[in-house]
Copies of this chain bind each other. A is one copy, B any other.
Amino acid sequence: MKMNDYIDLINESIDKFMPINYPQKIFKSMKYTVTLPGKRLRPVMCLEACRMFGGNYEDAIPTACAIEMLHAQTLIHDDLPCMDNDDYRRGQLTNHKVFGEAHAVLAGDALLTFAPQTILKYSKNLGSEKLLKIMEEYFQAAGAFGVIAGQVVDIESEKLMQSFEFSGKIDIDKSELEKTLDYIHTHKTADLFKLALRTGAIIADANDEQINTITEFAQNLGVAFQIADDILDETSTFEQMGKTLGKDKEEGKLTYTSLYGLDKAKEDLNKLIANCFEILEKNKLKSEIFEQILNKIMNC
């Protein structure tokens, strides 16, 4: 499969998995953000991981789409006025701007259970043992040990960064900030990448060693992706990214570029991408799709 074939398949499947039931407004609100134009990176990676480990990528379609739903859930709640307060996402108005805050909160809530419900409904052929494993992976990544842990520390880090700048590096150790940033990137970003790749591998009956390998790959790729995002936040335009940029810097947020500077950020990004290529090569894992993704992130 080519990248665009995967993307088309994912978009068609999401449309099928998300009919507009009653009460329509909540289902429309859920679907609005899930179907915003996007690269479908996480579901593509899930399908490709499944294929790469010898599975049938079609078996991973419901799980892949569920991960895109979960990703949309995090976007809807992150964009809320009480969180990042963003009006645009992928060039379109954010969920609460279209449906109102109350519905945006509820649409996010609904997606958190609609996603695994979709897996259970459409993946019965995987058998109950494998389905439970996928549920465990999903809960771990979606909850307070996963993306939410990253989001919470991200919010708290704003204060930390401000006092770091204010105190002129005297009271706060820079290594503390580095550890904090690594924690945020690992959980806020890499955990969903891990979920996509690990569940794809699990569906393909990958063994424990293979799952460890793909987890390490996902950790490197996830952090690389977030560094690229931080770089783009400084160097890109609204038209290119479809969201308001430069806000991180303005708000004194802890990001890779604010902590290490643009040059070191680019250097570390290249290192992480090189690690990813090395992991694929060392383990004789062949995938044009992952090569394309790695090159795209490197050349952000």
Q: Which residues of A are interface residues toward B (Cβ below 8 A)?
A: 21-23, 25-27, 30, 73, 77, 80, 82-83, 100-103, 105-106, 108-110, 112-114, 116-117, 120, 128-129, 131-132, 135-136, 138-140, 142-145, 148-149, 151-153, 155-156
In the complex, are the beta carbons of A106 and B26 less than 8 A apart?
A: no
Contacts of A110 in B (CB 8 A): 143-144, 148
In the complex, are the beta carbons of A152 and B109 less than 8 A apart?
A: no
Which residue of B26, B128, B145 contacts A144 across the interface (Cβ within 8 Å)? B26
Given contacts A83-B102, A148-B26, contact A138 B156 (CB under 8 A): no
CA of A177 to CA of B118 in the docked complex: distance in angstroms? 32
Given contacts A25-B156, A128-B128, contact A148 B106 (CB under 8 A): yes
CA of A152 to CA of B26 in the docked complex: distance in angstroms? 7
Which residue of B103, B144, B153 contacts A152 across the interface (Cβ within 8 Å)? B103
Given contacts A109-B77, A112-B113, A114-B144, contact A136 B155 (CB under 8 A): no
Contacts of A23 in B (CB 8 A): 144, 149, 152-153, 156
Which residue of B77, B100, B102, B136 contacts A106 across the interface (Cβ within 8 Å)? B77
CA of A30 to CA of B144 in the docked complex: distance in angstroms? 9
CA of A155 to CA of B107 in the docked complex: distance in angstroms? 13
